Amino acid sequence: MGSWALLWPPLLFTGLLVRPPGTMAQAQYCSVNKDIFEVEENTNVTEPLVDIHVPEGQEVTLGALSTPFAFRIQGNQLFLNVTPDYEKAGPFRDEAAWAHTLSTDH
Protein backbone atom coordinates (compact mmCIF):
# COMPACT_ATOMS: atom_id res chain seq x y z
CA MET A 1 0.00 0.00 0.00
CA GLY A 2 2.85 2.47 0.54
CA SER A 3 3.22 5.62 2.58
CA TRP A 4 0.85 7.69 0.34
CA ALA A 5 -2.08 5.53 1.39
CA LEU A 6 -1.43 6.47 5.02
CA LEU A 7 -1.56 10.21 4.17
CA TRP A 8 -4.97 10.11 2.44
CA PRO A 9 -7.21 10.30 5.56
CA PRO A 10 -5.41 13.36 7.05
CA LEU A 11 -5.29 15.09 3.65
CA LEU A 12 -8.99 14.40 3.05
CA PHE A 13 -9.88 15.74 6.51
CA THR A 14 -7.77 18.87 5.92
CA GLY A 15 -9.48 19.39 2.57
CA LEU A 16 -12.89 19.28 4.24
CA LEU A 17 -11.90 21.93 6.81
CA VAL A 18 -10.40 24.39 4.33
CA ARG A 19 -12.99 26.42 2.42
CA PRO A 20 -12.40 27.31 -1.22
CA PRO A 21 -11.50 30.98 -1.92
CA GLY A 22 -14.52 33.28 -1.96
CA THR A 23 -16.66 31.13 0.31
CA MET A 24 -15.53 32.63 3.62
CA ALA A 25 -18.23 34.52 5.52
CA GLN A 26 -18.17 38.26 4.87
CA ALA A 27 -18.05 40.68 7.81
CA GLN A 28 -21.50 42.08 8.54
CA TYR A 29 -20.90 45.37 10.31
CA CYS A 30 -21.13 49.08 9.58
CA SER A 31 -18.07 51.22 9.08
CA VAL A 32 -17.43 54.93 8.61
CA ASN A 33 -14.90 56.84 6.53
CA LYS A 34 -13.76 58.92 9.57
CA ASP A 35 -13.69 58.01 13.28
CA ILE A 36 -13.10 61.49 14.69
CA PHE A 37 -13.90 64.89 13.23
CA GLU A 38 -13.72 68.46 14.46
CA VAL A 39 -16.22 71.25 13.85
CA GLU A 40 -15.35 74.86 14.62
CA GLU A 41 -17.55 76.66 17.11
CA ASN A 42 -20.40 78.73 15.64
CA THR A 43 -20.03 77.02 12.25
CA ASN A 44 -23.18 75.77 10.55
CA VAL A 45 -22.13 72.50 8.90
CA THR A 46 -24.47 71.48 6.08
CA GLU A 47 -22.45 68.69 4.46
CA PRO A 48 -22.35 65.17 5.96
CA LEU A 49 -19.83 64.58 8.74
CA VAL A 50 -19.21 60.96 7.71
CA ASP A 51 -20.35 58.41 5.16
CA ILE A 52 -21.53 55.14 6.68
CA HIS A 53 -21.04 51.82 4.90
CA VAL A 54 -24.04 49.63 5.70
CA PRO A 55 -24.06 45.96 4.65
CA GLU A 56 -26.90 44.84 2.40
CA GLY A 57 -30.01 43.87 4.36
CA GLN A 58 -29.13 46.07 7.34
CA GLU A 59 -29.93 49.62 8.39
CA VAL A 60 -28.16 52.02 10.71
CA THR A 61 -29.72 54.11 13.49
CA LEU A 62 -28.42 56.38 16.22
CA GLY A 63 -27.94 54.54 19.50
CA ALA A 64 -28.98 55.52 23.00
CA LEU A 65 -25.43 56.71 23.81
CA SER A 66 -25.64 59.46 21.16
CA THR A 67 -25.93 63.07 22.28
CA PRO A 68 -29.70 63.75 22.11
CA PHE A 69 -30.84 65.73 19.05
CA ALA A 70 -27.28 66.65 18.02
CA PHE A 71 -27.11 64.28 15.03
CA ARG A 72 -29.30 62.68 12.38
CA ILE A 73 -28.75 59.91 9.89
CA GLN A 74 -30.04 60.54 6.40
CA GLY A 75 -29.57 57.64 4.02
CA ASN A 76 -26.07 56.41 4.80
CA GLN A 77 -24.68 59.74 6.01
CA LEU A 78 -24.33 61.34 9.45
CA PHE A 79 -25.27 65.02 9.78
CA LEU A 80 -24.94 67.55 12.59
CA ASN A 81 -28.31 69.03 13.62
CA VAL A 82 -27.00 71.91 15.72
CA THR A 83 -24.42 74.68 15.43
CA PRO A 84 -21.76 74.14 18.10
CA ASP A 85 -21.74 77.03 20.58
CA TYR A 86 -19.78 76.52 23.77
CA GLU A 87 -21.25 79.58 25.52
CA LYS A 88 -24.86 78.36 25.19
CA ALA A 89 -26.43 75.54 27.13
CA GLY A 90 -26.63 72.45 24.96
CA PRO A 91 -24.75 69.36 23.86
CA PHE A 92 -21.42 71.16 23.31
CA ARG A 93 -21.23 73.29 26.46
CA ASP A 94 -19.40 70.97 28.85
CA GLU A 95 -18.38 67.98 26.78
CA ALA A 96 -17.93 66.53 23.35
CA ALA A 97 -20.97 65.35 21.43
CA TRP A 98 -21.18 61.67 20.54
CA ALA A 99 -22.83 59.87 17.66
CA HIS A 100 -23.18 56.17 18.47
CA THR A 101 -24.54 54.09 15.60
CA LEU A 102 -26.27 50.72 15.71
CA SER A 103 -26.66 48.36 12.79
CA THR A 104 -29.76 46.19 12.67
CA ASP A 105 -31.31 43.76 10.22
CA HIS A 106 -34.35 45.01 8.31
10-residue mean pLDDT series, the chain (106 residues): 45 42 59 82 90 87 82 90 76 57 61
Q: Which of 51, 47, 59, 46 shows the shortest CA–CA distance to 34? A: 51
Q: Where are the domains of the chain?
A: 25-105
- How many Cβ atoms sit within 10 Å of the Cβ of residue 97? 18
Rounded Cα–Cα distance for residues 45 and 84 (Å): 9
Element (H, E) at 52: strand 50-53
Residue type, 48: P
Predicted TM-score of the model (pTM): 0.60
